[in-house]
Structure 1
């Protein structure tokens, strides 16, 4: 749907089997257009034009926009006999996936979780899939840089897996940011760094690592942590870890963070 770094890689991955991959150009930036061009994706005017032509629609966007994008697709397909498959590949809560399935049909929606970076070579990234049509959609990625694995027919399973993975990849690193800020405000930074070093933790390295990973993506990670919190809550589990991480990344996005 929107070829950012991940979307362009996914579009390129399915092109050998799809024959042609199109994207909705309306309102997108020049850098997005360039990425799409380099990935050999074909522009169409808008989401409506895309929805009416596709056999498979892949949604990759910021988590907070996933439902809105699905609503745009549903509006475009209203009254159409052809119902494409819809791969919801965003880091969203299972409840969000089920709401999208209500809009587009539970037999047409596939829940997807990308774990790993945008893949241009095999061996780095797995695309987990769940839903009735998971095997059908997964087959399109055979031989591609994305290793498609099917979790089963239950919608939401892939999203739960993604949320669990995100807790260790994004919520845990947020703890380093939080304790570093707390120590600085309390004037105990030197003592904290010393104690952590004594126990084998290099806080400077930890902060530098997360800064490199999230410096331009903190706003997006906040949305992902919001969805992870909804996932935990839906399972009857504590959701405070994710909500705190979302707040840390939201503040970082607004105020910036200095890892020095």
Structure 2
């Protein structure tokens, strides 16, 4: 039997799991079209609560309550937590008769997204999402790519917001397409910059740092700025980007593309975040 058609009220309740920097921006962007934008308070940090407050989001006690109340649920959390969050949502949806729209917007592999869709089964309509760009408070910086069932519905919620929502495809088999795009883009946005970290570490171990810098200067490479940028970013976000790079590597391996670039980037981000 075919699943029931997705139907949302004119101003749906939208749940954000969780309002980190990106989640808070997404929640704020959705407010004009929502009856309420809610977040789950249990176990979250003071910093998260402050971001939610500044974005004018409404706190509910926990994930279960959020899942029971929301017509749309946006999962935007560290990659390693994506399946756990989906499991908590799925358990809370067991007694619901309607199917909320679950936008899986985490930086995870297509197979991971499809696994979450299988986990949620007929309890939710799962739409694949991929954010490319920073947390958006103004238009022109960030695109939210969507694919799979409910993609058009999700995109409409962002109309006129700082997030430029674009639909790739809308069929059930298209769950994972947006995440595939994200994995490809991450090769240049997150994996490629870590070459500077590897280059600098290798030069130091060979004892040729000064000579290498001289050659880079002589050949016109803008290494100093690039290295400073990736060091700062890795120190601040390496703990999260390591997981994203592992997921990107899984995505590449699944289609027979060499995944070593992303695996190496994951290790370099781990070292940087650990102070190594």
TM-score, length-scaled by structure 1: 0.96
Q: 1:34 & 1:219 partners in 2: Cα distance?
A: 21
Residues 1:115 and 2:132 are matched in the alignment = yes
Residues 1:176 and 2:193 are matched in the alignment = no
Please tell me whether the aligned partners of residues 56 and 86 of structure 1 are also in contact (alpha carbons under 8 angstroms). Answer: yes
Farther-moved stretch of structure 1 (104-113 vs 150-159) = 104-113
**Displacement after TM superposition at 1:105 (Å):** 3.5
**Displacement after TM superposition at 1:214 (Å):** 2.8
Q: 2:176 & 2:61 partners in 1: Cα distance?
A: 31
**Displacement after TM superposition at 1:149 (Å):** 0.2
What is the SS of the residue equivalent to 1:215? Answer: helix
Aligned to 1:255: 275
Aligned to 1:124: 141
Please tell me whether the aligned partners of residues 193 and 202 of structure 1 are also in contact (alpha carbons under 8 angstroms). Answer: no
Which aligned pairs between 1:59-98 and structure 2 lie closer than 5 A?
59-98=75-114
Q: 1:195 & 1:124 partners in 2: Cα distance?
A: 35
Q: 1:53 & 1:151 partners in 2: Cα distance?
A: 29
Please tell me whether the aligned partners of residues 114 and 162 of structure 1 are also in contact (alpha carbons under 8 angstroms). Answer: yes
Q: 2:72 & 2:188 partners in 1: Cα distance?
A: 31
Farther-moved stretch of structure 1 (200-209 vs 218-227) = 200-209
Q: 1:134 aligned to 130, 151, 157, which one? A: 151
Aligned to 2:183: 163
Q: Structure 1: where are the runs of 5+ without partners? A: none
What is the SS of the residue equivalent to 1:238? Answer: coil
Task: Render the CA deviation track for 1:241-260: whole Å, top value 9, x for unaligned.
Answer: 1101101111111134xxxx
Root-mean-square deviation over aligned CA pairs: 1.1
Aligned to 1:143: 160
Q: Structure 2: where are the runs of 5+ without partners? A: 1-16
**Displacement after TM superposition at 1:206 (Å):** 1.2
What is the SS of the residue equivalent to 1:57? Answer: strand
Aligned to 2:250: 230
Farther-moved stretch of structure 1 (205-214 vs 159-168) = 205-214
What is the SS of the residue equivalent to 2:144? Answer: strand
Moved over 6 A (4+): none
Please tell me whether the aligned partners of residues 234 and 272 of structure 2 are also in contact (alpha carbons under 8 angstroms). Answer: no
Q: Aligned pairs, how many?
A: 256
Task: Render the CA deviation track for 1:13-70: whole Å, top value 9, x for unaligned.
Answer: 0110012100000001111111101111000000000000000000010011101110
What is the SS of the residue equivalent to 1:43? Answer: strand
**Displacement after TM superposition at 1:164 (Å):** 0.8
Please tell me whether the aligned partners of residues 63 and 92 of structure 1 are also in contact (alpha carbons under 8 angstroms). Answer: yes
**Displacement after TM superposition at 1:230 (Å):** 0.3
Q: 1:244 & 1:188 partners in 2: Cα distance?
A: 22
Please tell me whether the aligned partners of residues 62 and 220 of structure 1 are also in contact (alpha carbons under 8 angstroms). Answer: yes
Farther-moved stretch of structure 1 (99-108 vs 85-94) = 99-108
TM-score, length-scaled by structure 2: 0.90
Please tell me whether the aligned partners of residues 74 and 104 of structure 1 are also in contact (alpha carbons under 8 angstroms). Answer: yes
Q: 2:256 & 2:231 partners in 1: Cα distance?
A: 32
Q: 1:80 & 1:246 partners in 2: Cα distance?
A: 39
Q: 1:14 aligned to 15, 30, 34, which one? A: 30
